[in-house]
Structure 1
Amino acid sequence: MIKRVYNLAITSLLLGLFTTAIAAAELPDDNTIKPFTAIYDMYRQGDKLGQGSRIMTSLGDNNFSIELTSNIEWLIFSDRRSELSIFNYVDGKVSPLSYSYERSGTGSDKELTIEFRQNKDLIVKPEAKESPDKWEDGWLDEMSLHVQIQADLIAGKTAFEYSLISNRGTLRTYKLEVIGHEIISTGLGRFNAVKVARVYDKQKFYAQHAYGLFQS
């Protein structure tokens, strides 16, 4: 079975200084997803600043959780984050059930929870000024978005558009496009990566890229 790593240009900026890695797992022969655990180091200009993890777990009945944690220390700056999404996955479609976000460290601490209820009520706590009170099919959260991108790449898509409720509690739209391939080197060898960029209306491609490897 061929292994590929997807390089996604959706980066999560930590106070404008750091990026976290987004990648895809070993590709199966169909559009299923597999639980994995990924541990990775985070660097800035060659200096190791901390470590992060990304873990996806099967909960049974087509339900999964995906969790991201990170802990960074740099000079007097510190940043600790955790995100957890619980979602349903059937036939290549991700349907979020709940999402939580916590951030602590230098500056203001933050917590947010989102419930995607079956009656289409959307419960965001604390509620933002522009938080919707209903959600629509196809909407995602910050973490289930990554899984849907992986599933769409496995299905062979090359252009994507997603609506999601952000960790600010507001509705956002992401447009992505496959822009090529790139060979990357990891501790497990060299991999043929698919490079994906975020598309903006005024500036076509986002300049920064994030690399990572999920292990099944």
Structure 2
Amino acid sequence: MGALLPTSLIAGELTQYQASYDILRKGKNHGEAVRELKKVGEQTYQLTYHSNIEWMIFSDKREETSVFTYLDDKVTPHHYNMVRTGTGPDKDYKIDFDTQNKVVTSSTSKYPLKCEWTDEFQDAISYQVQVREGLRKGETTFSFPLVDKKGNRRDYNFEVTGTEMISLPIGNIEAIKVKRLYDNDKRQALAWFAPEMDYMLVRMWKGEKGVEQFEVQMNSFTVTQPVSTPASSTENTEASAEAP
């Protein structure tokens, strides 16, 4: 296992990184994914998630992007975009959160979406950053209102169920296990976050009626240098969690 990672390289800023994952089904590799977080402006970050899955005659390639601000430990999304191609209908849509006028707009509608505004809104991937910040502060339950492309509000609820030592391509890691709470027991979703790796998402598992749909495991992780790091602290700004 590589060097342990700092909780942040600069106080009040998010750690910028690039992480790669294997996408598995029943223990066999059927794809790959890359998650990257970088700072793009004053208190503004961009989170991207690329995935490519091939399974029998099924294929799914998608890219999600979230642009958000981070201030006082709070993630506030502004722009979300998802492009998906593969088996079945292709998808391409954008959602904008106008914090000044307190409205949500979508590329699928020429009018603002009919959803009551809340400052707690997250998009389909920004909430994962907020979960990490909550775990860092010791929180054990989370609830986030999201808006889908049709303008429907969807509440995502999670709870911490404990800690586990898990085995991944990057080594054995002690991780916090988080369970998504659904309205029924038909679907299951679990995620593992590693405190020693700045609470990074290191594993995901999704199932339906107890049957695995897919599993995601981190296979490499690199911290990248923040753009505002002073010259005096530029040494050793990369830490790799790749297996030796």
Q: Which residue of 1 aligns with 2:160?
A: 178
Q: What is the rounded CA distance, in whole Å, between the counterparts of 1:160 and 1:60 in structure 2?
A: 28
Larger mean Cα displacement after TM superposition, 148-157 or 30-39: 30-39
Q: Which residue of 2 aligns with 1:65?
A: 46
Q: Which residue of 1 aligns with 2:182?
A: 200
Larger strand share, 1 or 2: 2
With normalisation by structure 2, the TM-score equals 0.70
Q: Which residue of 2 aligns with 1:27?
A: 7
With normalisation by structure 1, the TM-score equals 0.79
Q: Secondary structure at the match of 2:188?
A: coil
The answer as to whether partners of 2:83 and 2:92 remain within 8 angstroms in 1 is yes
Q: Which residue identity is paired with 1:179?
A: T
Q: Which residue identity is paired with 1:94?
A: V
Whether 1:165 aligns to 2:147 is: yes
The answer as to whether partners of 2:113 and 2:151 remain within 8 angstroms in 1 is yes
Deviation at 1:201, TM superposition (A): 4.2
Q: Which residue of 2 aligns with 1:127?
A: 109
Which structure would you say has the larger RCO, counting Cα contacts within 8 Å and 6 or more residues apart?
A: 1
Q: What is the rounded CA distance, in whole Å, between the counterparts of 1:178 and 1:109 in structure 2?
A: 35
Q: What is the rounded CA distance, in whole Å, between the counterparts of 1:51 and 1:147 in structure 2?
A: 21
CA RMSD in angstroms, aligned pairs only: 2.7
- What are the superposed Cα offsets for residues 52-107 of structure 1, whole Å, 9 maximum, x if unpaired? 11011101210000000111112221111010000000111000110001111111
**2:124 maps to which of 142, 147, 151:** 142
Indicate the structure (1 or 2) with the bigger Cα radius of gyration.
2
Over the matched positions of the two proteins, sequence identity in percent amounts to: 35
In structure 2, the CA distance between the partners of 1:85 and 1:155, relative to structure 1 (3 Å rule), is same
The answer as to whether partners of 1:26 and 1:215 remain within 8 angstroms in 2 is no
Q: What is the rounded CA distance, in whole Å, between the counterparts of 2:107 and 2:25 in structure 1?
A: 33
Q: Secondary structure at the match of 2:119?
A: coil
Q: What is the rounded CA distance, in whole Å, between the counterparts of 2:59 and 2:186 in structure 1?
A: 32
Whether 1:45 aligns to 2:12 is: no
What runs of 5+ residues in structure 2 fail to find an aligned partner?
192-203, 205-215, 224-244
Q: Which residue identity is paired with 2:164?
A: E
Q: What is the rounded CA distance, in whole Å, between the counterparts of 1:175 and 1:198 in structure 2?
A: 6
